[in-house]
Structure 1
Amino acid sequence: MSESFDFINASAQEKITHLEALLTAALEPQAVHIEDDSAAHAGHAGAASGSHYTVTVVSERFAGKARVARHRLVYDALADEMRRGVHALAIRAFTPQEFAEQFQ
């Protein structure tokens, strides 16, 4: 899927849609939301290509896993993009129960 996607030359919305699709395929989340934080990193390496993101994922796949293991699942799902255009990720990974307790 990601091999044919030209991340660097895609629009900001195309990049987000692509990242969401990869996370959905890998983690079967109840919810996934990605914010492009690149503007806040103007002048920083990688910011010009729109490559700083905050990723929020709510998935049962995180149940029983420590924070580092959850982040690894997200990084694994986005491995190609991490090599080809994503410069930085801030990850918020919740189980559905944790998300409900914290935000509802």
Structure 2
Amino acid sequence: MAMNSEEIESRITAAFPDAQVIMVDLAGDGDHWAARVTSSAFAGKSRIQQHKMVYAAIGPDMGDALHALALQTFVPVN
């Protein structure tokens, strides 16, 4: 069973309470998502580190219930 956008967003915001998350269903099938995540937790981290942080927040469902996630991460601008 595929993960819906609310579940993905919930896991991300649980790990990063200040996160702003924008979800887009890329294929209209609920199985291929794009996420734009903005959080101060990413400050000072490389893009790879930021993406690994988000994947860790999603947990073991990444690659299983969540088949594909195109990810963009940002640090908020003050």
* 2:12 corresponding residue in structure 1: 23
> Which residues of structure 1 form unaligned runs of 5+?
1-7, 40-47
* Aligned residues between the structures: 78
* 1:69 corresponding residue in structure 2: 49
Q: 1:52 to 1:21 in 2, by over 3 A?
A: same
More helix by share: 1
Q: 1:30 to 1:79 in 2, by over 3 A?
A: closer
More strand by share: 2
Name the aligned partner's letter for residue 59 of structure 2: A
> Which residues of structure 2 form unaligned runs of 5+?
none
Matches within 5 A, 1:1-104: 8=1, 15-39=4-28, 50-97=30-77
- The answer to which of 26-35 and 51-60 deviates more is 26-35
TM-score (norm 2): 0.86
**Contact 1:53/1:90, CA 8 A, preserved across alignment:** yes
User: Which of the two has higher C-alpha Rg?
Assistant: 1
Give the Cα–Cα distance (whole angstroms) in 2 for the partners of residues 87 and 73 of structure 1.
18
